[in-house]
């Protein structure tokens, strides 16, 4: 009888959770809740990433400014990761790239720094239906500003499912706490970082342990501006050891690190700046 009741409640729970856009995932002990059984494969469609805001130039006609923002398409929901520092630049670049604010379902803000969170309010003014995922460490006033616009703010603590195959790592590190985006694909995991303040090697290690599988691509700011050659090379060695296949470092990675990554990853290096589009279908 107990067993029948258990099965009943598990079935009920699965029915309630199924299809929910924002499903918090327990981070308790025991079986890794984010590692799916082998039979439950990720969607075969591969996502594309468009860098809508970056301080590195890439495509002519777009404005460069200090900060980072990148849009993920081809997943269950269209997700904007970070919003750059200036809403005007963000919206102007999006328009030039043919991306309308109404296309965006969710925004994930990596951390509190203005060069990542600064464009959010301008974007929400254009589309208040966007669900905003903020690290739980954000002040109430920040969340209040989002809600004042009529948008929904979700506080992220542990790892959270944003939509099918798209997750937040949960807030990592300290001062500032930062979340990264994880996308599970048929070719491996993709990790998007804002500034990687908690340290990119630690983030990749955590994602591998927690989500399982190989890492197809790491993209975003790697926070190595001002780091010495030895420190950068140690990061490269560690990422190679973690079997990261492709890297698209931008924003706060710094020119020296970008050059060293290019030399080390060769065809696995993707030159990135504002306007770069990565179609992961072409990655091996
Ligand atoms: Zn930054
Ligand atoms: Zn930062």
124 contact partners, CB below 8 Å, separation of at least 6: 130, 132, 146, 149, 150, 151
What pLDDT does residue 18 have? 40
Q: If you measure from the C-alpha of residue 38 to the centroid of ligand 1, how many angstroms do you get, rounded to a whole number?
A: 36
Q: If you measure from the C-alpha of residue 59 to the centroid of ligand 1, how many angstroms do you get, rounded to a whole number?
A: 20
Q: If you measure from the C-alpha of residue 221 to the centroid of ligand 1, how many angstroms do you get, rounded to a whole number?
A: 7
Q: If you measure from the C-alpha of residue 196 to the centroid of ligand 1, how many angstroms do you get, rounded to a whole number?
A: 9
pTM across the whole model = 0.88
What pLDDT does residue 129 have? 97
Alpha carbons 30 and 148: distance in angstroms, whole number: 39
Q: Is 214 helix (H, G, I), strand (E, B) or coil?
A: coil
Task: Determine how many CB atoms are found less than 10 A away from the CB of residue 248.
Answer: 26
Q: If you measure from the C-alpha of residue 240 to the centroid of ligand 2, how many angstroms do you get, rounded to a whole number?
A: 24
What pLDDT does residue 6 have? 56
Are the CB atoms for 214 and 223 separated by under 8 Å? no
Q: If you measure from the C-alpha of residue 250 to the centroid of ligand 1, how many angstroms do you get, rounded to a whole number?
A: 10
DSSP letter (8 states) at residue 93: H
What pLDDT does residue 195 have? 97
Length of the chain: 284
Alpha carbons 49 and 1: distance in angstroms, whole number: 50
What pLDDT does residue 40 have? 64
Are the CB atoms for 139 and 116 separated by under 8 Å? no
What pLDDT does residue 175 have? 87
User: Mean pLDDT of residues grouped by 10 in the chain (284 residues)?
Assistant: 51 41 41 52 88 98 98 97 98 98 98 98 98 97 96 96 96 95 97 97 96 95 96 98 98 97 98 98 93
Indicate the Cα dihedral angle 191, 196, 198, 200, nearest 10°.
60
């Amino acid at each position: 009888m107990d067993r029948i009741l258990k099965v009943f409640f598990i079935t009920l729970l699965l029915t309630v959770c199924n299809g929910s856009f924002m499903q918090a995932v327990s981070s308790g002990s025991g079986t890794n809740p984010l590692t799916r059984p082998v039979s439950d494969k990720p969607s075969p469609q591969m996502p594309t990433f468009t860098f809508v805001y970056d301080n590195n130039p890439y495509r002519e006609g777009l404005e460069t400014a200090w900060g980072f923002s990148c849009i993920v398409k081809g997943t269950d929901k269209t997700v904007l990761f970070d919003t750059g520092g200036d809403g005007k630049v963000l919206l102007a670049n999006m328009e030039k790239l043919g991306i309308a604010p109404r296309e965006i379902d969710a925004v994930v803000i990596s951390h509190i720094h203005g060069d990542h969170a600064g464009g959010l309010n301008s974007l929400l003014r254009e589309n208040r239906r966007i669900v905003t995922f903020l690290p739980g460490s954000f002040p109430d006033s920040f969340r209040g500003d989002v809600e004042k616009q009529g948008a929904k703010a979700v506080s992220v603590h542990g790892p959270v499912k944003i939509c099918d195959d798209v997750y937040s790592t949960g807030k990592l590190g300290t001062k500032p706490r930062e979340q990264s985006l994880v996308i599970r694909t048929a070719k491996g995991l993709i990790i998007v970082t804002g500034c990687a303040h908690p340290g990119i090697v630690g983030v990749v290690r955590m994602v591998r342990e927690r989500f399982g599988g190989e890492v197809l691509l790491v993209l975003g700011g790697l926070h190595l501006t001002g780091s010495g050659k030895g420190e950068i090379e140690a990061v490269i060695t560690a990422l190679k050891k973690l079997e990261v296949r492709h890297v698209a470092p931008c924003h706060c990675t710094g020119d020296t690190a970008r050059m060293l990554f290019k030399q080390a990853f060769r065809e696995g290096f993707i030159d990135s700046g504002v306007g770069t589009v990565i179609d992961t279908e072409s990655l091996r």
